[in-house]
A and B are shown apart, each in its own frame.
Chain A
Amino acid sequence: MRRLWLKRSLLLSLAAVVTAVACGTSSTPAAGSVNVMATWTGAEQASFFAVMKPFTDQTGITINYEASRDQDALLTTRVAAGNPPDLAAAPSPALLTTFAKAGKVKALNNIVDMTALQSQYSPGWVTLGEPLSDGKLYQVYSWVSLKGLIWYDPKNFTAKGYNVPTSWQSLLDLQQTIKSSGTTPWCIGLESGAASGWPGSDWVKEIVLSQSGPTVYDNWWQGKQKWTSPEIKLAWQTWGQILGSNDSNVYGGAKNMSATNFGDAGTPMFQNPPKCYMHNQASFITSFFQSANASLQAGTDYNFFSLPDITSQYAGAHVVAGDAWSMFNDTPQAEKMLKYLMTADAQAIWVKRGGKISPNNQVPLTDYPDALSKSTAQILVATKIAKYDAGDQMPSDMRNAYWSAVLQFAQNQGNLNSILANLDAVQAKAYTS
C-alpha cells in the first residue's frame, strides 16, 4: 500500500517537473537582448523607455532593464559574482571607476564613434570618461545636470525691490539686507535618508571651484589636496558665512536644516509671507516645487540665477553632474545600444520630455520644453569652466564621510577643525585601491 503511494507520488512529482520545464520554456528572440542596470525609476524610467523605443522598434533587440536605488550593493555583488549587466548607467562615476581600475569594464575607444564623440561633446566630457589617464575611454555621458542654481521667487524679489546678485559680494549684501528685514535669506534642507548631507556638499564644492579654481578642485577630489588645506578650509568657512553664525541665515536654523528633506526645503519660499528668499539646488528641484504647490508657474513664480563667481579669475565656473555609462560585457547588441545612446536624436527624446540636459551639442536649444531648462542648457554650453561633481568622483567612503561632515558642520560650525581632521583621516585610507 505504501509502495503504491510512494510510486504514485514519485511519478506525480516527475510529471510536475517535466510540465514545469515544458511550460517554462521561453523563446529567445533572434535579435538578442541587452541587460541594462540604472537608477531611473518612476517617471524617469518612463522617459528612458521612450528613449529606447525607436531603438527596439528598429533593431528588435529586447532591453532587459532593471533599476534600483541600491545600485551600489547590487552592482558590486553582480560584478564580484561574475554576472554583471551588459551596460550600467550610474549617477556618479565613482563606482564605475572602481570597476575600471579592477579591469571589469571594457574600453570603449573602438566601440563608440570617437570622432563623433570628440566633435559633438565638449572635451571635458570625453576626458571625464578616461579616469585612469591611460587614453582608454571607460565611461560615456548621456544626460547631465547643472548645479549651483539659486532658485528664487521673482515676485518676492520685486515686492522688496531686491536685484538678482551678479557678484559674490552683492550676494552677501543681499543676504544681509534680507536678514535685517527680519526674514532668513536661505532655505536649506539636508535630510535625504541614507544620503543625508549631500545638498550641503554641493554648496561646498561649488564654492571650492569658484573660489580656488579647477586645479585645486581636481587635486581635492583626487585625494591629493587635504581637507585641512587652507583653500578647502576657506571654502567651508565661506559656506559658514552663507549659513550665518549658528545657522541664523537659514530658515529654522540647524534643527530644521537637518530635519527637512531636500525636496521639501524650497517650499517655504512660496509661502505668504515667504519664510526665505533663496534656495541652492540643481535643476530637478522644479518637479518638487510643482508637487508641493500645483499652482506655481515656471518663470513667474520661480526662476534661478547662477551662483555668482567668487574669484574673478575663475569666472564662469560651474559644477555639473551626469549619468555615466560603462560596458561590462561586449556583445553586438550592447555595442549597438551604446552607439545609439550617444546620438543627439536619442538624447533629445528625454530632453523634450523635460528634466535632463544633453551634453551633445547637436541637440538644438529649441528641443528644451520650457524657458528655464533652455537657460540651463545655454549655461552648460557656454560655461568656461565645467567641472564634474567632486563628491561623485571621490571613492564612496570618502563621499559618505563628506556628507556626514556637512551634517556635523551644520550642527556646530565651531567644530570645523576636528571635522576636517577626521576627513583627512578618511582620505588617507579611501584612495588606496
Chain B
Amino acid sequence: MTIAVASPTSSTTARFSPRWLSDRLGGFVLHVVVIGLTVAWMVPTIGLLITSFRLPQDISNSGWWTALSPPFKFTLDNYSQMFAASNLGQSLFNSFMISIPATVIPVTLAAFAAYAFAWMKFPGRDWIFLALVGLLAVPLQLTFIPVTTEFVKLGLTPQHLTAIGLPPFIPLWLAHAGYGLPFSIYLLSNFFRALPSDLFESAEIDGAGTLTVFFRIVLPLSVPAIASLVIFQFLWVWNDLLVALIYVGGVATVAPVTVTLVNLVGSYGQNYQLLTAAAFFSMIVPLVVFLSLQRYFVRGILAGSVKG
C-alpha cells in the first residue's frame, strides 16, 4: 500500500478556469523544478563519467563538456588499466567479506538495543541513550591507537588470526560495528519508539513473548528504517579506506577494493585519471544495494507512527 499523495487537483474544477490553470501550471512548474534540480545535481557525476572516458592529455587541457562535441576522442584506456590492476578480484572479494558482516552485526545489535531503549524500562536508560548519541561525536582517529594496542595484546591481528585459521577480518568487523552502533541505535530507536503502544499492549494480552513481539511485530513494521540503516552502514563500510588500513592492513590478501583502487595512482599522483574510472566501478555495488532496497521505502507501514 502506497500512501497516495495525489496531486491536489480536485476533479470538479472547470477546465481552463483560473484554478484549473494554476493547478496545471503548478504541476508543470513542479516537474520543471524537480527535473531541473536533479539534472543540476547530476552535473558533477556526469562530468566525472565523461572524464573517465578521456585520455589524460585531454583531461588536463580541456573541460569535459568539450568532449561532447566533435571530434569525439573517447577511450576505454582508463577502464582497461583499472581492470588490469593486480589484485582487483581478491580485493573485491575482501570488500564483500568485510562489508556484509560489518553491516549485519551493527544493524542486528542495534535492533536489539533499540528495542530495549524504546520499549523496556531499566535504570539509567535515558542517560545511557544520551551518552550513545554523544558518542557519535568521538573522532575515530583517536580510537585507533588504544584499540589496536588492545587488539595486538589479544592476538586479534590479521597475521595471527590467519595462522589459527580464523578470518583475518574479525577485528575490522568489530571495529565497524563499534563505530556504526551509535548512529544505528539512534536511528532505530527513533522509529521503534514511534510504533503505536496499543500494538504492544494487545500483543501482551495475547500472551506473546518478547522475542515474538520483536520478530513478528517490531521488525516487520520497521522495514523502511532498517532498510535505510542497512544502506548507510553498507555504504560507509564499502567506501571506507582508513579504518580498513588500520585494523587489517593493505596487504594484497586482505585489502578491500578501496585500497586497491586508490593505489592505482602513483605516490606522486601519477595517473590520477584512473581514479575517475575507479570511482564508477566501486559505485556499482552500493548502488545495487540501494536500488534493491528501494522498494522497502514505499510501504506505508509507518502509517500513524510519526505521531511525534
Contacts and interface: CB of A to CB of B under 8 A. Distances in A.
A267 B60 CA distance: 9
Contact of B145 (A81, A91, A291): A81
B263 A263 contact: no
Contact of B270 (A66, A291, A294): A291
Interface stretch (A19-27, A238-246, A366-374): A19-27
A82 B166 contact: no
B165 A40 contact: no
B166 A80 contact: no
Given A44-B266, A68-B250, A70-B245, A21 B165 contact: yes
A69 B162 CA distance: 26
Given A20-B167, A24-B162, A44-B266, A81 B245 contact: no
A291 B57 contact: yes
Contacts of A80: 145, 148-149
A83 B157 contact: yes
Interface stretch (A71-79, A129-137, A392-400, A405-413): A71-79
Contact of A24 (B57, B159, B166, B270): B166
Contacts of B249: 66
B265 interface: yes
Interface stretch (B39-47, B251-259, B297-305): B251-259
Interface in A101-138: none
B148 A44 contact: no
Nearest to B241: A70
Given A43-B270, A43-B271, A292-B56, A68 B246 contact: no
A263 B270 contact: yes
A25 B57 contact: no
B269 A66 contact: no
B269 A263 contact: yes
Interface in A172-205: 192-193
Contacts of A83: 148, 152, 157
A86 B6 CA distance: 66
A41 B264 contact: yes
Contacts, number: 117
B149 A24 contact: no
A77 B266 contact: no
A151 to B, nearest CB: 15
A83 B156 CA distance: 11
B175 to A, nearest CB: 12
B255 A20 contact: no
B271 A261 contact: no
B202 interface: no
Given A66-B255, A73-B242, A263-B268, A81 B165 contact: no
A395 B22 CA distance: 68
A83 B154 CA distance: 12
Contact of B162 (A20, A26, A77, A192): A26
B259 A68 contact: yes
Q: Which of A35, A193, A291 has the most CB of B within 10 A?
A: A291
B148 A81 contact: yes
Contact of B266 (A43, A82, A267): A43
A287 interface: yes
A73 B139 CA distance: 14
A91 B251 CA distance: 19
Interface in B214-267: 242, 245-246, 249-253, 255, 259, 262-267
Contacts of A193: 269
A288 B273 CA distance: 12
Contacts of A76: 145
Interface in B149-176: 149, 151-153, 157, 159, 162-167
Contacts of A170: none
A25 B162 CA distance: 7
B267 to A, nearest CB: 5
Contacts of A67: 250, 263, 267
B141 interface: yes
Interface string A16-47: 00001110111010000001000111111110
B281 interface: no
A73 B269 contact: no
Given A40-B267, A69-B267, A78 B148 contact: yes
Q: Which of B144, B245, B265, B270 has the most CB of A within 10 A?
A: B270
Contacts of B166: 20-21, 24
B165 A25 contact: yes
A224 B292 CA distance: 63
Q: Name, among A70, A74, A82, A83, the residue most crowded by chain B CB atoms within 10 Å (CB to CB).
A: A83
A231 interface: no
B141 A73 contact: yes
A24 B61 CA distance: 50
Contacts of A65: 251-252
Contacts of B148: 77-78, 80-81, 83
A81 B151 contact: yes
B149 A42 contact: no
Nearest to A40: B267
Contact of A42 (B144, B162, B242, B270): B270
Given A263-B270, A288-B270, A74 B246 contact: yes
B271 A291 contact: yes
B161 to A, nearest CB: 8
A176 B268 CA distance: 32
Interface of B: 55-57, 60-61, 86, 141, 144-145, 148-149, 151-153, 157, 159, 162-167, 242, 245-246, 249-253, 255, 259, 262-272, 274
Interface of A: 20-22, 24-26, 28, 35, 39-46, 64-70, 73-74, 76-78, 80-83, 91, 192-193, 261, 263-264, 267, 284, 287-288, 291-294
9 contacts: A26-B162, A40-B267, A41-B262, A46-B86, A65-B251, A77-B246, A80-B145, A80-B148, A261-B269
The 3 closest A-B pairs by CB, nearest first: A66-B250, A81-B148, A25-B165
